[in-house]
Amino acid sequence: MTFEKQDLLDIARMPMPFGKYAGRPLIDLPEAYLLWFANKGFPEGRLGRLMALALEVKIEGLEGLIKPLKEG
C-alpha cells in the first residue's frame, strides 16, 4: 500500500462520515470495525483507502505515530 504524508494527517483528523461511529476520527475507529470493512469491502474512493490505511496502522501498532497529528 502506498500513501502520501497527507493521508496520515487525514486518518488522524477526518471524521467517519456515516454509521455507528460517525464523527469519530478514522484512526479512532475500533480495529474490529475496520476488519469488518476489510472482509466486506471498504467504501470506494479516498475514504476506503484511508480506512484501509488506518487498519494497517493499527495492525502494525503504529498508532503512537498518529497521536501527535491529531493534536496539531
Question: What residue segments make up the domains of the chain, in order of their start?
Answer: 5-71
Considering Cα of 18, then 24, then 28, then 30, what sign does the dihedral take?
negative
Predicted pLDDT of residue 70: 86
1 has pLDDT over 80: no
- Which pLDDT band holds residue 71 (cuts at 50, 70, 90)? confident
CA dist 70 and 30 (Å) reads 16
Predicted pLDDT of residue 72: 63
CA dist 53 and 8 (Å) reads 8
pTM for this prediction: 0.92
Per-residue pLDDT reduced to its tens digit, 12-45: 999 999 999 999 999 999 999 999 999 999 999 9
